[in-house]
Structure 1
Amino acid sequence: MSIDIDPLPDAPGITVTDHIENTQFEVYTDRAVEPTASPEGAHYFPIDASVTVETGSIEVPRVAVVEARSGDGTLLTRGDSYAMPAGTYHVGIDPAPTKLYLAFESPFSVSTTERTTRIDLDAPAEVTLGFRSLHQVPAGTIETPTDPESLMDAVSLLGSALQTTSPERSFPTLRGHPPLIESGDELRVPDRVEPFDSGVRIVVPPEYRYLYPVISLAYYFAADVVSGDAPRIEGDGWTHSLEPGFERRTAEVLRQAFHFDCLARTEGFYPVDLHERETTDLDLDWGRLYDLPLAERLGEYLDVPFERVEPELPQWTLTTDVRPDPENVEMLPFVAGELSIVRSPEAATPATAGEGDGLGFFRGPGSGADDAPTGAVPLGPDEFVRGGTETEPIRGADASADRGAVPTDADFVRPEPVDTVEHAWVGAGVPLDANKATLDAYHRRLEAGAVEQSRISVLVVCNDEQMREEGEVADLYGLRDMVQFDIEVRHDLTREEMREVLQSDVDFLHYIGHVDDRGMQCTDDYLDLTAEDLDVGVSAFLLNACQSYQQGEALVHRGSRGGIVTLADVANSPATQLGRIIARLMNSGFNLRTALHVAKRELITGHQYIVVGDGGTTICQSRSGIAVVLDIMKQSSEYDITMKSYPNGPYGVGCLYSPAIEGIGLNYSVPSNAFISSIKREQLDALLKLETVPVFYQEELVWSDEILPN
């Protein structure tokens, strides 16, 4: 079983441990309880584990929305403060680290404080609690020849993972992970992979550069992908052209259709007050659209010119460039499952130092300040970088003169800019300012079920005396009241000790020290992570050292899911700053890509870093589920807040959130941003006390547990 449920040792209640998602949280009761296993069928929605306890109350240590349904599943009410009469109820609590459902027969009331949500029964009674992991796995692997025309049959099966074709599939928990794809002599489809007949067809020429950009559409629309001359989407009685501007038009269809589904689903099982529903100024009958079959509904969506709705659409989260090569076909299900906008560039623009192409932070051997590329960050005379070939670190501008800032065999490429928050790259080359995504890392995302420990382990390794200041990041990990951390700091490791560290099952390694083409510097020699005999068990990492890309890529190839690495020499002071920022963000539940995105807002030197492997890797969940950044501007005696939401793990694109601000009752769908103007100091203080999140106050990065704005 992936979920363990145990009595709390020192308080009345239970501990819930999800070994798949590596999360742990507590549920409190008003008396000591002994949970007994109960049937999974006791709940309206599917669950993975269920227990029954006798209690007069259930309390969770977070502000949540409580959804009450009758015994037959009819939604009765939803909120954080209400009372219900006698009856049989199915109750859902959201957000929680797992799906959390209660079933009982009793009158009850719901109340919240600044940090908790409580359900009180009129009298003690049996309450059945159900838990479902938010983890999603593919139903099987499709084998297929990899020529474009044959591959279309496999891509047409990506949508088999959908659990519904209604607008509710815009909820991440109702989409499911697409089946995997691998090369084979002929098409072989597992029995469990059963396609939907959605009535949607996507017609594209049989070329990778046309097929790859439609994979997210094929998945989300459960569409048949067929060969044809003019790229288009079809349903019975309608056609929508994907030209001119094929990739742009494809992205527009995904954004518009998904947005409209989020609006239409408010007519179904979740009739919430949705901000986007109020601000989208279209004369559409959303109730009628909700009831239409998918193909008819999509046809009517696309009758609305994109230009009409573009200003109201949220910034999409992820663009993935997938090079049009057959060796990239196995990545397609993972990219589609993230609902990424997909481009397929036929040519990669090389980025070579010294050619005046704006390659920001790189300098070749012997280059001086006069030929430093645009955007380079000069080092002060007393600054040293995190590299060096001698016992003492090389300081100042002489660093790159003694050794190249990039390996001579590195094939750097400059992807075209994106309009999304995050950017990933699939294919040959080291991308500047993009996540270098790899297949082995994505497969390890699916293997997360093998995790056995219920605590989050963080190891900080500092192998240089002059960098001890960053080693204090250990104090920033574990500042959570719902996640248990094991945090260790080690200094001056030998090669053998470093090898043992890398072999361990540490959840996050924060390395501070020196790296060059010989490997990681240890007290007795260098440890080359590209060595064939190296075993790696570390799940995720930050290699905060000069030119750590190749060593970090080796960690991913040998067992890690993903990490943050550098592409150049990094000066010690900004590297220390960035290390501390990343530490707090990872501790707060951000994934690697989003953490680096936030760090780049604060530090221009963040552009010297990229993510390798699975950029969606987290070490824990945020208290709110989604990752949130607050932008706060003071306006006289009041404040304007923008709450920026980012998909995060199981809380993907399309989930709902509601700002926990008194007087704000609207819901928002991720990745929409919530803008709330003119709130009082008291409201702001209450919000900042709920959870530790990054805050850009007057455009400067601070933290919600560190500030009370004047």
Structure 2
Amino acid sequence: MSIDIDPLREADGITVTDHIENTQFEVYTDRPVDPRRRPESNHYFPVDASVAVETGAIEIPRVAVVETRGGDGALLTHGDCYEMPDGIYHVGINPAPTKLYLTFESGFSVSTTDRTTRIDLDTPGTVGLGFRSLHQTPAGTITTPTDPESLMDAVSLLGSALQTTSPERSFPTLRGHPPLIEPAEEFRVPERVEPVESGVRIVVPPEYRYLYPVVSLAYYFAADVVPGDAPRIEGDGWTYPLEPGFEERTARVLRQSFHMDCLARTEGFYPVDLHERETTDLDLDWKRLYNLPLAERLGEYLEVPFEDIKPELPQWTLTTDVRPDPENVEMLPFVAGELSIVRSPETVTPVDDDGGVGVGFFGGADRSPSAATRREVPVGGVAPDGGALGDALGDAEFVRGGASAGAESMADTSAGTTRGADASAERGAVSAQTEFVRPEPVDTVEHAWVGDGVPLDANKATLDAYHRRLEAGRVEQSRISVLVVCNDEQMREEGNVADLYGLRDMVQFDIEVRHDLTRAELRETLESDVDFLHYIGHVDDRGMQCADSYLDLTDEDLEIGVSAFLLNACQSYQQGEALVHRGSRGGIVTLSDVANSPATTLGRIIARLMNSGFNLRTALHVAKRELITGHQYIVVGDGGTTICQSRSGIAPVVQLAKSDDGLYSMEIDSYPNGPYGVGTMTTPNVDTINSSYYVPSHIHMDSASKESINQFVELETLPIFLEEKLTWSDRVEL
């Protein structure tokens, strides 16, 4: 059983622990309860665990929407404040760390405060509570030869994970994880992987560069992928060409069809007031579209010119570059499951040492030590807008990139501290085995890279990390462990980040700070069961600096127990990559020397974001908005890794600007996060917002009062850009 349900010790109610997702939350009652198991089939929607309690009220410590269905499952109403007469009801409460359903026979009322949602029964009695983990696992593994035509048969089965072909599959909980793909000499399909007959066909030439970009479409449309000359999508009686501009048109189809499904699904089980439905100016019969078979509905979607809906489309979250090589086939189910836009670049631009004209701090294999330690150009390199990073840091900062032991070194001054060790004048800027590549820019919020090379400004995604996402099993404790290791006296200021972890209601953290670990102690630490490691110190070619020596993770035979990490040290990429290969899910690392002051600031930002439930990729995205030096960092491994769940499930980022009339313009960017993936529905708790939005979303209000903003930001700890400067909801002063 992945979910444990136990009575609370210090209050009336129960505590619910999902051991797969590592989440825990409390449900309160108006009297002491003794939960007893009951059949999961008593609930309208499927659940993993079910109990019954005797109570007159149910309360959860978060603001939520309560959805009420009758005994037959028909949706009656939803909201956060209403009353219902006597009857038999199935009630859903969302968001919650697991899917949460109630069933009872009584009239009731729903009420909310600024922090809680409460259901009061007119007649106390038996209430059934059902819980379903948001964790998703594949039904099995398809084995296949890796030639393109054989692989097409495997990709055609990705859509077998869909739990429906209706527009409701735009909800992440109704898509399911695609089956895995594994190279083999023979094509074999597990019994549990059954094809879905959607009537959609995707025709592409039998080449990796054409096959890889359509994997998300094949999954979402449950489409058959077949070989042909002209790339196109076909249904009964219609054809949609995918050229010219194959990859761009493929991305457009994904965005357009998904958007229109989110609009059409309001005609089904969830008839909510969806903002995007109101603002998308299309004269379509959505009810008729909702009831059409998938292929016929898709054909009508694609008759709508993309330019007609483009203004209403949110910025898509993720683009993944998958190099067109057979060794990357195992990554395809994971990429498709994230509904990523996929590109398959045949060529890639290498990053060479160009004397600071182009990249600056990113060195190549032939970079000389003197250039690494005493160059006159800013070690911060060149910013994305073409300006030098050193210009943004100031002269006292940009000389920190070299840390040689010579007289020219500034490592012995507080102004010149770097995160690289100062003992080796021979080391270059990067290892000779490291090849940096520069992927083409993306229009999405996040960017991942699958293939050889270390990508600038993109998540280096790896197969072993994605497999560990699926292998997350039962944990022995529900508390979240954070270990802060500071191995340098001059960097003790960043060690105070321990104060930023654990600033959460209803989430239990074990936080430990350790200083000056020896080689043996650091080795033991890395092998221990830690949810997040925040390392502060020095890294160079010899490994991670310890009090007595160095620990090189690329040479050591370690079984890593650390789940996620931030290695806030110079050139920590290779050590971080080794952590992932040896057991971690993912982490944030550096590609260059990093100056101490901005590194400290970035470390504190990442600490707060991870504490708030953000995943690694989104956390780094937010940090880059605040610090230009954030472009010296990338994510390695599974960029979707979190250490806890955000209070609202998704990852919201707020931007505020004061108007002349004393009011504020407020923008909320909501990013998918963990189980709350693309298509999740969200309703901001702001008194002027009456509609729901689908995630990812950009919500804009021109005239928000100080009172309504304060009420909203008090609900959870949020990053807020106030007049373009990053602050936090528990510190903001309007």
CA contact (8 A) 1:68 1:77 kept: yes
Partner Cα separation in structure 2 for residue 203 and residue 144 of structure 1: 20
Partner Cα separation in structure 1 for residue 637 and residue 514 of structure 2: 25
CA contact (8 A) 2:500 2:611 kept: yes
Question: In the alignment, does 2:484 pair up with 1:484?
Answer: no
Out of 435, 443, 449, the position equivalent to 1:419 is 443
Out of 693, 698, 703, the position equivalent to 2:723 is 698
**Residues 1:360 and 1:27: Cα distance change in structure 2 (over 3 Å):** farther
CA contact (8 A) 1:387 1:546 kept: no
CA contact (8 A) 1:540 1:562 kept: yes
Out of 354, 369, 394, the position equivalent to 2:376 is 369
Matches within 5 A, 1:114-133: 114-133=114-133
CA contact (8 A) 1:384 1:394 kept: no
Matches within 5 A, 1:434-449: 434-449=458-473
Matches within 5 A, 1:495-510: 495-510=519-534
Which residue in the other structure is 1:671 paired with? 696
Question: In the alignment, does 2:359 pair up with 1:351?
Answer: no
Which residue in the other structure is 1:285 paired with? 285
Matches within 5 A, 1:110-259: 110-259=110-259
String of CA shifts for 1:538-570, please: whole Å, max 9, x gaps: 000000000000000000000000000000000
Question: In the alignment, does 2:13 pair up with 1:13?
Answer: yes
Which residue in the other structure is 2:493 paired with? 469
Partner Cα separation in structure 1 for residue 608 and residue 239 of structure 2: 49
Q: How much does 1:309 deviate?
A: 1.0
String of CA shifts for 1:104-125, please: whole Å, max 9, x gaps: 0000000000000000001321
Question: In the alignment, does 2:26 pair up with 1:26?
Answer: yes
CA contact (8 A) 1:388 1:514 kept: no
Partner Cα separation in structure 2 for residue 173 and residue 370 of structure 1: 51
**Counterpart code for 1:676:** M
Q: How much does 1:402 deviate?
A: 6.2
Q: How much does 1:355 deviate?
A: 5.6
CA contact (8 A) 2:354 2:360 kept: no
Partner Cα separation in structure 1 for residue 688 and residue 256 of structure 2: 30
Q: How much does 1:388 deviate?
A: 5.0
Q: How much does 1:431 deviate?
A: 0.1
Which residue in the other structure is 1:40 paired with? 40
Partner Cα separation in structure 1 for residue 401 and residue 356 of structure 2: 25
Partner Cα separation in structure 1 for residue 284 and residue 339 of structure 2: 25
Q: How much does 1:312 deviate?
A: 1.2
Matches within 5 A, 1:301-700: 301-354=301-354, 358-362=358-362, 364=367, 365-367=369-371, 368-370=375-377, 373-375=381-383, 376-378=388-390, 380-381=395-396, 385=400, 388=403, 393=411, 396=416, 403-635=427-659, 636-700=661-725
Q: How much does 1:621 deviate?
A: 0.5
String of CA shifts for 1:311-330, please: whole Å, max 9, x gaps: 11100000000000000000
String of CA shifts for 1:650-701, please: whole Å, max 9, x gaps: 0000010011011321000000211122121111111111111000011110
CA contact (8 A) 1:544 1:566 kept: yes
Runs of 5+ consecutive residues of structure 1 not aligned to the other structure: none
CA contact (8 A) 1:351 1:357 kept: no
Runs of 5+ consecutive residues of structure 2 not aligned to the other structure: none
**Counterpart code for 1:419:** D
Q: How much does 1:451 deviate?
A: 2.8
**Residues 1:71 and 1:427: Cα distance change in structure 2 (over 3 Å):** same
**Counterpart code for 2:638:** D
String of CA shifts for 1:295-339, please: whole Å, max 9, x gaps: 000000000111111111100000000000000000000000000
SS at match of 1:449: coil
Partner Cα separation in structure 2 for residue 245 and residue 354 of structure 1: 32
CA contact (8 A) 1:539 1:561 kept: yes
SS at match of 2:726: strand
Q: How much does 1:452 deviate?
A: 2.9
- The TM-score, its normalising length taken from structure 2, stands at 0.94
Q: How much does 1:390 deviate?
A: 6.1
Partner Cα separation in structure 2 for residue 53 and residue 116 of structure 1: 20
Partner Cα separation in structure 2 for residue 279 and residue 254 of structure 1: 20
Partner Cα separation in structure 1 for residue 402 and residue 27 of structure 2: 48
CA contact (8 A) 1:247 1:343 kept: yes
**Counterpart code for 1:120:** D
**Counterpart code for 1:56:** G
Partner Cα separation in structure 2 for residue 66 and residue 283 of structure 1: 31
SS at match of 1:560: coil
Identity of matched residues, %: 76
Q: How much does 1:531 deviate?
A: 2.0
Q: How much does 1:377 deviate?
A: 3.2
SS at match of 1:424: strand
Which residue in the other structure is 1:67 paired with? 67
Partner Cα separation in structure 1 for residue 303 and residue 474 of structure 2: 47
Q: How much does 1:393 deviate?
A: 4.3
SS at match of 1:644: strand
CA contact (8 A) 1:387 1:545 kept: no
**Residues 1:371 and 1:168: Cα distance change in structure 2 (over 3 Å):** closer
**Counterpart code for 1:369:** E
- The TM-score, its normalising length taken from structure 1, stands at 0.98
CA contact (8 A) 2:360 2:377 kept: no
CA contact (8 A) 2:2 2:474 kept: no
Partner Cα separation in structure 2 for residue 381 and residue 82 of structure 1: 60
String of CA shifts for 1:184-232, please: whole Å, max 9, x gaps: 1111000000010100000000000000000000000000000000000
Partner Cα separation in structure 1 for residue 510 and residue 490 of structure 2: 25
**Counterpart code for 1:374:** V
**Counterpart code for 2:382:** T
Partner Cα separation in structure 2 for residue 631 and residue 506 of structure 1: 33
**Residues 1:178 and 1:220: Cα distance change in structure 2 (over 3 Å):** same
Question: In the alignment, does 2:272 pair up with 1:265?
Answer: no
Q: How much does 1:461 deviate?
A: 0.2
Partner Cα separation in structure 1 for residue 400 and residue 106 of structure 2: 65
**Counterpart code for 1:486:** D
Q: How much does 1:405 deviate?
A: 2.1
String of CA shifts for 1:370-424, please: whole Å, max 9, x gaps: 4865334337447885985769946649989764222222100000000000000
Q: Which range moves more in the overlay, 390-399 or 82-91? A: 390-399
**Residues 1:427 and 1:394: Cα distance change in structure 2 (over 3 Å):** farther
String of CA shifts for 1:630-658, please: whole Å, max 9, x gaps: 01111131111111000001000001001
SS at match of 1:127: strand
SS at match of 1:452: coil
**Residues 1:529 and 1:611: Cα distance change in structure 2 (over 3 Å):** same
SS at match of 2:302: helix
SS at match of 2:452: coil
SS at match of 1:220: helix
